[in-house]
Amino acid sequence: MTMAAAGLLTALAAAPVTAQVQSGSAAGRESVARIQRIEDRAEIEQLLLNYGRHLDARDFKAYGQLFARDGVWEGGMGTVQGPAAIQAFMEKAIPGANTAHNFHLLSNFVIDVQGDTATAWSRWQFVAPDQDGRPVVAQAGRYDDTLVREDGRWKFKRRVAANDLPLPRPAAPK
Amino acid sequence: MTMAAAGLLTALAAAPVTAQVQSGSAAGRESVARIQRIEDRAEIEQLLLNYGRHLDARDFKAYGQLFARDGVWEGGMGTVQGPAAIQAFMEKAIPGANTAHNFHLLSNFVIDVQGDTATAWSRWQFVAPDQDGRPVVAQAGRYDDTLVREDGRWKFKRRVAANDLPLPRPAAPK
Amino acid sequence: MTMAAAGLLTALAAAPVTAQVQSGSAAGRESVARIQRIEDRAEIEQLLLNYGRHLDARDFKAYGQLFARDGVWEGGMGTVQGPAAIQAFMEKAIPGANTAHNFHLLSNFVIDVQGDTATAWSRWQFVAPDQDGRPVVAQAGRYDDTLVREDGRWKFKRRVAANDLPLPRPAAPK
C-alpha cells in the first residue's frame, strides 16, 4: 500500500461506501475505455503484421483465420470471401514452400479505431530475389482495410490490396 | 458522467463526496497521465505517417497543416516557416499529380514525449520507378523532429530532413 | 453499472473502509497492469530501434548496453555473450566510422509481453550504397528475440539474427 493510500484510509474512516465506488468508477470507466482503444490499436497492428507473416510462411490456414466469417480479400488476383475460401484461393495461387525467401515489408500503419470497428491504411513492399539471388523491391502498393471485432478478436472485414509499382507500362523515355 | 452515476450522486447528495473523489484520483491521476503519454505517442506516430501520406498524395494544404503556426521545415531544398508558406513552397517544388506513384517509406520511429513537447527521430526512404517503371530506393535519409501540442493537437515545431544516400559522389572503386 | 459493481455495493454495504479501497483498487490494479503492458511494449519497440540506431552510428558501447548482463547475440558472424564482449566483438567486426551511410531498416515488429519477459520477431533490411553510391537492399532477414526486464529496463536476453536474402547461391535460371 502506498503512503497516499494509507493516508486515505485514515481520512475516510467514516465515509459512506456507495459514493466512493461510484465516483471512483466514473473516471475509471473513461480510463478503461481509453486503455481499451490503445489495446485495440496494438492488436490491429499485430493483425496487419500477422497477415504478412502467415503469407510469407505460406501458412494459409492461419492467414485465412485473420478474416471475419464474411471477410473479403480483394486484389489484383480477384475477390474472395470467407476464411476457408481465402485459404483455398491462396494455396492454389501461391503453391509450395517459400524457397525464394521473398517477403512482405509492411509499414506506414494509419489506424483509426471506432468501438468494435476500425479502418486501416498501410503500405506494402514485396521484396524478392532477382536472378542473381539479390533482394529487390519487386512490387509495392497499399492496403485499405476495414476491420471488425468478432468473438472478441480483431479480424479483416475487407482488405483491398492496390498496386503502385511497377508502373503498368514502362515510363516514357525522358 | 453516465446517467446512472449522476442519479446515484443525486441520491447521495449529503455524502462527503469531494474528498473521496480527490483522494481517489491520486492514483487515478497518475494512471490518466500514463494513458495520456501513450495516446500522445500514438498521435505523434500518426502525424509522422500523415506527413508521408499527404506528401505522396500531393495534398500540400493538409501537409502544411501538420506544422505549428510557427513550424519550420528544413531540408536540402531550403528552410520554410508556417503552414501557408510550407504549402506554397511544396506546391512549387513538386507540382502536378503523382503519376509516377513514387512514395515515402517511413520507419524506425524513436519518439520521446515530454508533456506538451516531444522529439522524434525516424528514417525515410523515397521509392520511385526507374526508367523501366520498376521500384527502386531513389533516396534515403533521416528526420529529426521537435513537436508541440498546439490547440490540443500535435504538430511539427521543426522538422529537419537529412539525406544519407545516394552518397554525394560515387564511391571510390575498391 | 456492471453486475459485478452492483454486487460489490451490496456486499460492501456495511464493510469497513479498508475493504472498499481494496475493492476499488481491484479494478485499479487491473488498469495499471494493462497500462504497464502497453508501456512495456512501447519500451521494447524503442529497444529494437535503438539496436539499429547504435549499430548504424557505430556506437557499440551503447549497443552492448542493450543486452542483459548474460545477454547473447547470435548471428552469421558468431555467438557472443554479455555487453562488454558484444561491444568488443562488434568494434572488431565493423571498425571505423560509417562513411558509407549504410543503415538498418527495421520493421514488422511482432511483440508479446509476458510480465517481466517478452518475445519479439521482426524483419531487418540492410541498405547500403552500390558502387555508384546509390541505395540498394544489400541483405535482408529476421530477428528472433527473447527479452527480459533487468533493473527496471528491457534488455535483449537473446537476439538471433537470421539471413533470408541474398540467397546462398544464385537462383537457377527459369
pLDDT at B26: 79
| Least confident span in B10-19, B138-147, C27-36 | B10-19
Identity at B77, one-letter amino acid code:
M
Inter-chain CB pairs, A–C, below 8 Å: 104
Q: A110 and chain B: CB distance < 8 Å anywhere?
A: yes
Cβ neighbours around C101 below 10 Å, total = 19
C4 has a pLDDT exceeding 60? no
Mean pLDDT of A134-141: 96
B10 has a pLDDT exceeding 60? no
Torsion angles phi and psi, residue A58, rounded to 5:
60, 30
pLDDT at A22: 40
Residues contacting residue B22 through CB under 8 Å, at least 6 positions apart: none
Query: Would the CB atoms of A135 and C125 count as touching at under 8 Å?
Result: yes
Specify the higher pLDDT residue, A26 or A147: A147
Q: C2 and chain B: CB distance < 8 Å anywhere?
A: no
Give CA torsion, residues A120, A126, A127, A133, to 10 deg.
160
Mean pLDDT, chain B, as a whole number? 87
Torsion angles phi and psi, residue B151, rounded to 5:
50, 40
pLDDT at C28: 86
Assess whether the previous peptide bond of A135 is cis (omega < 30° from 0). Answer: no
Percent pLDDT > 90 in chain C is 78
ipTM for the predicted complex: 0.82
Report chain B residues whose CB lies below 8 A from the CB of A107: 105-107
Q: Work out the pLDDT band at B173, boundaries 50, 70, 90.
A: low
Torsion sign across C-alpha atoms C60, C65, C69, C70 = negative
Percent pLDDT > 70 in chain C is 83
If you count them, how many residues does chain C have?
174
pLDDT at B32: 94
CB C42 within 8 A of CB B38: yes
- Alpha-helical runs (H) found in C75-160: 83-93
Minimum-distance CB partner of A123 among B5, B31, B103: B103
pLDDT at C22: 39
Minimum-distance CB partner of A32 among C23, C31, C166: C31
Chain A residue with the nearest C-alpha to that of C10: A18
Please choose, from the candidates B72, B80, B24, the residue with its C-alpha nearest in 3D space to the C-alpha of residue A24: B24
Q: A33 and chain C: CB distance < 8 Å anywhere?
A: no
CB C45 within 8 A of CB A46: no
On the CB side of C64, CA atoms within 13 Å amount to: 17
Query: Would the CB atoms of A52 and C108 count as touching at under 8 Å?
Result: yes
Torsion sign across C-alpha atoms A109, B37, B66, C51 = negative
- Three-state secondary structure call for residue B101: coil
Mean pLDDT of C32-42: 96
Neighbours of chain B (3+ CB pairs under 8 A): A, C
Inter-chain CB pairs, B–C, below 8 Å: 78
Q: Work out the pLDDT band at A26, boundaries 50, 70, 90.
A: confident
Please report the beta strands in chain B, taking only residues with DSSP state E, as ranges in sequence order. 67-75, 78-81, 103-114, 117-129, 135-150, 153-165
Characterize the bridge pairing of strands C153-165 and C135-150. Answer: antiparallel
Minimum-distance CB partner of B31 among C32, C50, C136: C32
Question: What is the tens place of the pLDDT at every residue in C67-114?
Answer: 999 999 999 989 999 999 999 999 999 999 999 999 999 999 999 999
B164 has a pLDDT exceeding 60? yes
Q: C105 and chain B: CB distance < 8 Å anywhere?
A: yes
CA A52: distance to chain centroid? 10
Question: What is the tens place of the pLDDT at every residue in C110-146?
Answer: 999 999 999 999 999 999 999 999 999 999 999 999 9
Minimum-distance CB partner of B12 among A11, A16, A174: A16
Distance separating the N- and C-terminal Cα atoms of chain A:
73
Residue indicated by cell numbers 495516446: B39
Q: What is the pTM of this model?
A: 0.84
Please choose, from the candidates C137, C126, C116, the residue with its C-alpha nearest in 3D space to the C-alpha of residue C161: C126
Chain C residue with the nearest C-alpha to that of B33: C35
Mean pLDDT, chain A, as a whole number? 87
Gap between the Cα atoms of A139 and A124, Å rounded: 8
